[in-house]
Amino acid sequence: MSSCDTCVVRNRAICSGLDDREIGTLNSIGRRRNVTAGEPLIWEDDDSLLVANVIEGVLKLTTSTEDGREQIVGVAYPSDFIGRPFGQTSSASVVALTDARVCVFSRNDFDRYAREHPELEHKLLERTLAELDRTRSWMMLLGRKNASEKIATFLLEMSDRLADSGCTAATGPAKRFSLPFSRQQVADLLGLTIETVSRQFTKLKNDGIVELPSRREVEIVDRKALLNLAG
């Protein structure tokens, strides 16, 4: 029996749709790995040596300039695929934001396996196309939205993304949630400074649009107002 049998993302990750024998083979080339919050899994510009499925936790994908500016270019949630198959180098670093569990494969093994399993490649293609859509809409945010629109959009996206990561079905967007990001990380995601992020959070709180019970907790009080601000 493979560990895939009890995998919580078995029906959502790219391995869904594989039959028992295929899963067995895939299981034999992959292994579970725990990553603690803050620990890197993949380095930017390194040889692309491994790829992975996220089982549990949240990870950030980042690119950096030589002088240390950082931009978060993606966020991976459970069932997401990370890493760069079919390529020599990764264009982004991957670092765990929370303690996480992933199912890792050597890139070579994965590439070979994928080429032999069109159904898996198809799942990966659908996922990559969806990620490209999301990334493009984030470009709109980075290039054309102001600070308050960025923050509002961010909070709404968090409320959506963090809602269905649990097991409960279609609960809709979360009203209250715990951010997997520090203020600095929010800044790196939105292309702002930490001070601007902080000021915008304070403003939303003062305007009665959100509650901020603690540094990481957010409660959306007036969702409609947020939608307005998001533009």
Partner DNA sequence: TTCGGAATTTGACATTGGTCAACGCGGCTG
Partner DNA sequence: CAGCCGCGTTGACCAATGTCAAATTCCGAA
Give least dist CB 5 to a second copy, A. 27
**For residue 156, how many other CB atoms are within 10 A of its CB?**
17
Q: How far is 64 from 95, CA to CA, in rounded Å?
A: 13
Q: Of DNA, a second copy, none, which one sits near residue 102, judging by CB under 5 to 8 A according to partner kind?
A: none
Select the binding partner of residue 115 from a second copy, DNA, none (C-beta < 5 to 8 A, by kind): a second copy
Q: Which of residues 125-164 bind a second copy (CB under 8 A)?
A: 125-126, 128-133, 135-140, 142-145
Question: Whose Cβ is closer to a second copy: residue 3's or residue 228's?
Answer: 228
- How far is Cα 186 from Cα 199, in angstroms, rounded to an integer? 13
The pair of three-digit structure tokens given for residue 153, joined into one six-digit string: 């959009």
Tokens of 72: 């978060």
Q: Are 57 and 96 in contact (CB under 8 A)?
A: yes
Cα separations (Å) of 218 from 124, 155, 181?
33, 8, 12
Integer Cα distance of 74 and 92 in angstroms: 9
Work out whether 122 is an interface residue with a second copy (CB under 8 A).
yes
Please give the helix or strand (H or E) that residue 102 lies within, else none: strand 100-106
Minimum Å gap between C-beta 12 and a second copy is 17
Closer residue to a second copy (CB): 143 or 172? 143
For the chain, the C-alpha Rg in angstroms (whole number) is 19
Q: Which residues bind DNA (CB under 7 A)?
A: 146-148, 182-184, 191-199, 201-202, 212, 214-216
65 is a site residue for a second copy (CB under 8 A): yes
Candidates 29-37, 84-92, 166-174, 201-209; binding stretch for a second copy (CB under 8 A): 84-92
- Which stretches of the chain bind a second copy, using CB under 8 A? 61, 63, 65-67, 69-71, 73-74, 84-87, 91-92, 115, 118, 121-122, 124-126, 128-133, 135-140, 142-145, 188, 190-191, 231
